[in-house]
Structure 1
């Protein structure tokens, strides 16, 4: 089993020729499936790009959404559209709306969008103001005083959905691959080789998802949890517990890469660099 992982492609920033070369390279890797951890594009272009992926790659495509994917609409409307789109294509799977996907008898893939949920860092004194607040309807329609509540709600909702999937796993599952957009721990929130500070952490860490993952790993010491995420555009690995590791992927606007070709063997998931 070989899974191609991409994150934060921002296809709307890539030229057509760049997309074609990237698609050819990805096909040459011959993965069994594609996993993408959000920031596919923006607005209506998200659905268009997912259709292009389905029509280009004759294999399952598993995805979660990033904050950019919600631009121009509300969070709920965007998710409804993605759920409907995924149901139109047999190979397209929106993990936020899906149960665990069995890759082998003892290995599963599951996921959820996640959100920078103001649970880490110093939200009240942060100078960061993301474009999300202007371009996502939930924020634009409400006063700035409500934004923290919205962020925390989204992070908590993501953690509850993930918890339900994790608790329902049968005992024979030994390896769990989790796809999400926002790093679930501060230790996994990388930028230029360093982890985030209090100014950026409220918007770049999903602490509620991190708490759910830590609890699952604590309660299942013989089960190994491997997390894939992006959002920061800088790569790094973080070992949170002996059985919980987070891989944060790299991205740069205008370029398209394959983060890793994940190999699934009897000892779990291995993530060598693709290039």
Structure 2
């Protein structure tokens, strides 16, 4: 069952006419020094956002929960997040989710969007999200030479049974897309602007690497195609509603216009550094996602 919250009333984000949201993606806190973390935190506090959005790859194993709790203690703001593939390292997918659900439900500040219904940021603007997964629905899975660390580090992928991996990838992508579809189907008519937080780019056009989009070799593991199809269907069915997607995973940034009302922003990351991808504002035209501020 989804955790149902109306932050416009519960946690104060919707109390301003135009809340500002700091977007962070793929921080990999386990690779950052304490000094790097401190400088990054000071910069973020100085910007005074109303909330934080984190689009996955927070850390690994038990450190994921620790980092989330430390973020909550440090920033004293609502923190909306999804998990990335690295966040499942050291455990199974199911046990990781259950553990993070428990941590988030025990905190007033932590909001695991995969486990939550729509979050109203203003009367017309709503935030939803789900982890997503590179779901082997795009590109050439059978011919790919890519072998992710996921297959060695996540318990669901048995190293002695590679013939099962594709089905697991497809299962996770389908589950994410179905959860997201339910959330979008339940949005009220006044929700004109929808912000979607996820980890894996839902479209090839948004899967960036060094200024280019992915090829057939990498696409099976870096695109959540089933989520992309759900998003396209929703955008086509609601031409007067704007959909803005935030994602990461590739560690390279770029913007993609999928449809006139469907935009995808992919964030940048580099191991050992911590960045603030954007300070997002909401205006009459929807979510504004500047890359420099």
Q: Does residue 137 of structure 1 match 2:192?
A: no
CA–CA distance in structure 2, aligned partners of residues 140 and 123 of structure 1 = 18
CA deviation after TM superposition for structure 1 residue 29, in Å: 0.6
Q: Does residue 37 of structure 1 match 2:55?
A: yes
Point out 4+ residue stretches in structure 1 off by more than 6 angstroms: none
Match of 1:212 among 220, 230, 238: 230
CA–CA distance in structure 2, aligned partners of residues 194 and 46 of structure 1 = 31
- CA gap of 1:207–1:188, structure 2 versus 1, over 3 A, is same
Counterpart for residue 100 of structure 2: 82
| Contact 2:151–2:159 (8 Å) recurs in 1 | no
CA–CA distance in structure 2, aligned partners of residues 261 and 140 of structure 1 = 40
CA–CA distance in structure 2, aligned partners of residues 15 and 156 of structure 1 = 36
- CA gap of 1:192–1:146, structure 2 versus 1, over 3 A, is same
CA deviation after TM superposition for structure 1 residue 253, in Å: 0.2
Instruction: Classify the secondary structure of the residue corresponding to 2:94.
Output: helix
Alignment RMSD, CA only? 0.8
Match of 1:241 among 254, 259, 279: 259
Aligned length: 275
CA–CA distance in structure 1, aligned partners of residues 132 and 159 of structure 2 = 21
CA–CA distance in structure 1, aligned partners of residues 287 and 24 of structure 2 = 16
Gaps of at least 5 residues in structure 1 are none
| Contact 1:6–1:37 (8 Å) recurs in 2 | yes
CA–CA distance in structure 1, aligned partners of residues 223 and 91 of structure 2 = 23
Counterpart for residue 252 of structure 1: 270
CA deviation string 1:203-239 (max 9, x = no partner): 0000000000000000000000000000000000000
Gaps of at least 5 residues in structure 2 are 1-18
Match of 2:208 among 169, 177, 190: 190
Counterpart for residue 34 of structure 2: 16
Alignment of 1:146-225 (within 5 A): 146-225=164-243
